[in-house]
Amino acid sequence: MNILILGVNGFIGSNLSEFILANKDWSIYGMDVQDNKLEKCLGHPRFHFLEGDITINREWIEYHVKKCDVVIPLVAIATPAAYIKNPIGVFELAFESNLQIVRHCLRYGKRVVFPSTSEVYGMSSDKEFSEETSNLVLGPVNKQRWIYACSKQLMDRVIYAYGQQNGLKYSLFRPFNWIGPKLDDVWANKEGSARVISQFIGNILRGQNLDLVNGGRQKRSFIYIDDAIECLAQIIENKLGCADQRIFNIGNPSNDWSIAQLAETLLDMIATYPGFGDVKSRVKLNIVQGQEYYGAGYEDTNARVPSIANAKNYLGWQPRTDMKTAIQKTLDYYLIGDGAIKSERKTASGLA
Ligand code: UGA
């Protein structure tokens, strides 16, 4: 099977590619503006990479949609701070660029596996968010935080409609706070430039306090990347059409933690790594209001737990990694693994 992955150097793309090359016989054609997370893939005979921008290299994309069996358009800006600072850029990538790719899939009869997002459920009050029955609840237009959710939701609806009206072959997946190696650059040193766990790890490495937005009582269900990638690979494989025309939440309802609990546990766990024994005397927890931290367009959801009934029933999948193990593996990567080596290089070359 030939797979086209756009945004192949991202958190999902790079981890997915490593998994495929190690466990499947599929070939990957990938494009990204960078290749810094692909060190284990570049040079592999089944990995074909073009460094480039999806908004520019349109002919390459159309040619490879024709050539491949499955198309996975992963390009998006997925950090909440960017939804508020650069809402048009977020819309253009999440909606406009992806719409063209989905239309190519329709034209050439190719299957698209499209990343929706847990954000589409917004402020739904359901205890568990269901792909089939939950309402998608977004705030007013002046709350720009929701432009990403809204763009992705419209893509979901367009893909669903193309499926019904024109026979587009598709599967949608909704990541719920995936964490693990290669999530974000922990050295970025900008408030809100990374997802919460990377922001906290980066702050701790720099000896900066951890900001608990709105007190940190809000919860997320975190899932370890390897569990999530196993599920995604099954969706791509699509044995006997089990994933056709379906939506799958990919998350771990058992790892439903508050942000304050995440901050405290990270400090406890980092204190066990060499050189970090005194971390709790250097790094404190600091409460900050959401609109102060992100800007006036911020609004949040207090709870976000996935129903994983579809993934269980149609794929026979369920997550295995508990939260502490997920944190441990993420810390190992950034503190003593490949992520630490990269950070040292960056510091040495003055890029940090
Ligand atoms: C994320 C992003 O929108 C996407 O990456 C993705 O689609 C989705 O959710 C997902 O991963 O499922 P969110 O969970 O709000 O949204 O993103 P984070 O930046 O990881 O924030 C999680 C929570 O931690 C938020 O309540 C935020 O206010 C809080 N936070 C963040 C802090 O308390 N302190 C910080 O320094 C950063």
Q: Please identify, by atom number, the ligand 1 atom nearest to the C-alpha of residue 290.
A: 28
Q: Is the pLDDT of residue 128 over 90?
A: yes
CB atoms within 10 A of CB 18: 20
CB 285 within 8 A of CB 263: yes
Q: Please identify, by atom number, the ligand 1 atom nearest to the C-alpha of residue 192.
A: 37
275-327 pLDDT per residue, tens: 999 999 999 999 999 999 999 999 999 999 999 999 999 999 999 999 999 99
140-157 pLDDT per residue, tens: 999 999 999 999 999 999
CB 248 within 8 A of CB 174: yes
Helix (H, G, I), strand (E, B) or coil at 72: strand
pLDDT at position 187: 82
CB atoms within 10 A of CB 260: 17
- Percent of the chain whose predicted confidence (pLDDT) is above 70: 96
* Pair type for strands 219-221 and 170-175: unpaired
Q: Which of 174, 177, 182 to mutate to test the pocket of ligand 1 (most atoms within 8 A of CB)?
A: 177
What single string gives the DSSP state of each residue in 195-228? Answer: -HHHHHHHHHHHTPPEEEETTS--EEE-EEHHHH
Give nearest CA residue, ligand 1 atom 8.
Answer: 177
- Residue 341: band (very low, low, confident or very high) from pLDDT cuts 50, 70, 90: low
Cα of 218 from ligand 1 centre, angstroms: 10
Cα of 192 from ligand 1 centre, angstroms: 9
Q: What is the dihedral of CA 81, 179, 128, 236, to 10 degrees?
A: 110
Task: Name residues contacting ligand 1 (CB within 6 A).
Answer: 78, 80, 117-119, 175-177, 195-196, 199, 211-213, 216, 218, 220, 259, 290, 300
Give nearest CA residue, ligand 1 atom 22.
Answer: 196
Q: Is 352 exposed, middle or buried (0-12, 13-18, 19+ CB in 10 A)?
A: middle
- What's the whole-number average pLDDT of the chain? 95
Q: Is the pLDDT of residue 352 over 50?
A: no
- Percent of the chain whose predicted confidence (pLDDT) is above 90: 92
CB atoms within 10 A of CB 325: 12
Name which of 45, 25, 49 is nearest 36 in CA terms: 49
Q: Please identify, by atom number, the ligand 1 atom nearest to the C-alpha of residue 177.
A: 11
pLDDT at position 343: 57
Q: Which of 79, 152, 196, 261 to mutate to test the pocket of ligand 1 (most atoms within 8 A of CB)?
A: 196
